[in-house]
């Protein structure tokens, strides 16, 4: 089949622009993805004066193909968004973390922390995760309503990842704020630290993310200094301080970038799986009743929640050589964006994909990506979502959403910022 020109493709499903955060904030992306899967599965999304254009991949098999070839479709040129046409002064270079590293260095760096994320490590931490979950639920138990995101879903992943990194509890709220600032920089709510006339603008977003990263990295440089004076051996930061790759210690920049990634990746995604999971259960009363009658369905329910919510909208790769996908030519140097929510509703893979089915099996969703960069924290994320819903539905069986979820303006994170819920208080 002859390649279709970018111009012809972009003209096809008219009006679909996946750079537009509002499409995702309004939760209307699934309709756009459905059209793209049917009409333009390899779709050229034009850029703007600031952002590069990119190829959208919306079919499961194509996303799998790209994920299986990390030496051709690389991560080191950026994994979120399509990249700026011009890098702002002072923002080029610097250290990178595993998520923006390519083979062969990627796997060597990933091995340093792998031990902390094995199924065994997750199993060992389960009682602690349950204890933290119940402490969080105790705080709302005497009331009859709360903001589920601020008081429940955000608190568990925050406590788990900060605990693994050995951070004192007094620092956890800062980690929460900085994660929001970094990943939510396109949303006006998190642009509070910029001048009023910049709020809601592209410049506001750039300043917000840069400020968040600067503060996060500064915080971890101080933590490293503390660990050097008072060494510990029981947390991720200390493991990284002692680690070597190819006979060389990691630089301070490497360690800080690693810590930044762990906090950011460990926080926001799992939070949104929990918030999105509650929304899905409330919107599908029969499935919810089934789960409450048969709590042993929880493991498959968790997988369905992950498929349904797809907490990360996309990851980006850059082609290092010319490639043809579904007859469309992708040139070396061009960006491809893998849209996970679309893969997870692909009619060619999933039976009745728009049906939320807590017993779905098989359910090989791509919410955690695939291959070389498969989510390091998937085991913890699964355990956290499962334990949260086990305890939540046991203690607050009538919990329900009472208003519209306030969603994040982002084409990267499927975020819920606020979610009002009511429930019968515990006696």
Q: Which residues bind ligand HEM (CB under 6 A)?
A: 75, 79, 98-99, 110, 157, 161, 261-262, 265-266, 269-270, 273, 311-312, 315, 367-369, 373, 375-377, 380-381
Tokens of 405: 């979820």
Q: Minimum distance between the CB of residue 146 and ligand HEM, rounded to whole angstroms?
A: 22
Nearer to ligand HEM, 262 or 358 (CB): 262
DSSP 3-state assignment of 298?
helix
**Closer residue to ligand HEM in complex, CB, 284/365:** 365
Contact by Cβ (8 Å): 237, 224: yes
In sequence order, what are the beta bridge partners of 160?
none
What is the rounded distance in angstroms from the CA atom of residue 324 to the CA atom of residue 294? Answer: 47
Q: How far is CA 289 from CA 100, 204, 286, 369, in A?
A: 42, 44, 5, 30
User: Whose Cβ is closer to ligand HEM: residue 227's or residue 313's?
Assistant: 313
Q: Which is nearer to ligand HEM, 42 or 376 (CB)?
A: 376
What's CA 312's distance to the chain center, in Å?
Answer: 4
Measured from the CB atom, the residue of 255 and 381 that comes closer to ligand HEM is: 381
Are 210 and 91 a contacting pair, CB within 8 Å?
yes
Q: Min. distance of Cβ 15 from ligand HEM in angstroms?
A: 27
Helix 285-293 with 298-309: angle, nearest 10 deg: 150
Minimum CB separation of residue 52 from ligand HEM in Å reads 17
Residue 36 CB, shortest distance to ligand HEM, in Å, is: 19
Q: Work out how close the CB of 300 gets to ligand HEM at its nearest, in angstroms, rounded to a whole number.
A: 16
Q: Give the residue with the Cβ less far from ligand HEM, 88 or 103.
A: 103
**Identity of the residue, 186 or 377, whose beta carbon is nearer to ligand HEM in the bound complex:** 377
| Separation of alpha carbons 25 and 30, rounded Å | 12
Where helices occur in 189-325 by DSSP H, the ranges are 202-229, 236-242, 252-283, 285-293, 298-309
Residue nearest to ligand HEM (CB): 377
CB of 302 to ligand HEM, least distance (A): 9
- Helix, strand or coil, per DSSP, at residue 336: strand
Beta bridge partners of 325: 328
CB of 358 to ligand HEM, least distance (A): 17
Burial of 210 (0-12, 13-18, 19+ CB in 10 A): middle
- Give the residues across from 314 on adjacent strands: 339
Q: Which residue has the tokens 């509070």?
A: 192
- The distance of closest approach from Cβ of residue 378 to ligand HEM in the complex, given in angstroms and rounded to an integer, is 6
Residue with tokens 């996303």: 63
Q: Are 239 and 116 in contact (CB under 8 A)?
A: yes
3-class state of residue 281 by DSSP: helix
Question: Minimum Å distance from CB 116 to ligand HEM?
Answer: 9
CB of 56 to ligand HEM, least distance (A): 16
Residues 6+ apart with CB under 8 A from 21: 186, 187, 409, 410, 411
- Tell me whether residue 257 or residue 421 sits nearer to ligand HEM (CB atom): 257
Complex with ligand HEM: residue 223 or 265, whichever CB lies closer: 265
Closest to 390 in 3D by CA, of 121, 158, 156, 162: 156
Query: Which of residues 281 and 375 has its CB atom nearest to ligand HEM in the complex?
Result: 375
């Amino acid at each position: 089949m002859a390649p279709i020109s970018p111009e012809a493709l972009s003209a096809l499903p008219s009006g679909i622009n996946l750079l537009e955060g509002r499409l995702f904030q309004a939760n209307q992306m699934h309709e756009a993805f459905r059209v793209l899967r049917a009409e333009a599965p390899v779709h050229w999304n034009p850029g703007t004066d600031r952002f590069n254009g990119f190829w959208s991949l919306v079919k499961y098999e194509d996303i799998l193909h790209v994920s299986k070839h990390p030496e051709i479709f690389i991560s080191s040129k950026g994994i979120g968004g399509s990249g700026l046409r011009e890098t702002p002064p002072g923002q080029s270079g610097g250290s990178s973390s595993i998520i923006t590293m390519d083979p062969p260095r990627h796997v060597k760096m990933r091995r340093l922390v792998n031990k902390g994320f094995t199924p065994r490590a997750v199993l060992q931490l389960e009682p602690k995760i349950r204890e933290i979950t119940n402490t969080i639920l105790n705080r709302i138990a005497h009331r009859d309503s709360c903001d589920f995101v601020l008081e429940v879903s955000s608190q568990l992943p925050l406590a788990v990842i900060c605990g693994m990194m050995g951070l004192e509890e007094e620092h956890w709220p800062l980690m929460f704020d900085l994660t929001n600032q970094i990943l939510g920089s396109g949303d006006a709510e998190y642009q509070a630290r910029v001048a009023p006339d910049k709020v809601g603008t592209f410049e506001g977003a750039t300043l917000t993310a840069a400020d968040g990263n600067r503060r996060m990295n500064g915080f971890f440089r101080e933590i490293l200094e503390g660990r050097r004076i008072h060494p510990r051996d029981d947390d991720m930061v200390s493991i990284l301080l002692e680690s070597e790759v190819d006979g060389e210690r990691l630089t301070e920049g490497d360690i800080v970038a690693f810590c930044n990634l762990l906090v950011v990746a460990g926080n926001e995604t799992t939070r949104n799986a929990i918030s999105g999971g509650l929304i899905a259960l409330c919107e599908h009363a029969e499935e919810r009743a089934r789960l409450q009658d048969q709590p042993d369905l929880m493991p498959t329910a968790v997988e369905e929640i992950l498929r349904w919510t797809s907490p990360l909208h996309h990851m980006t790769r850059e082609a290092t050589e010319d490639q043809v996908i579904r007859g469309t030519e992708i040139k070396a140097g061009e960006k491809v964006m893998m849209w996970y929510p679309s893969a997870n509703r692909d009619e060619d893979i999933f039976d009745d994909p728009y049906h939320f089915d807590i017993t779905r099996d098989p359910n090989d969703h791509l919410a955690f990506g695939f291959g070389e960069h498969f989510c390091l924290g998937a085991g913890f994320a699964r355990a956290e979502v499962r334990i949260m819903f086990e305890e939540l539905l046991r203690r607050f069986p009538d919990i329900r959403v009472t208003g519209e979820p306030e969603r994040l303006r982002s084409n990267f994170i499927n975020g819920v910022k606020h979610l009002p819920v009511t429930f019968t208080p515990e006696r």
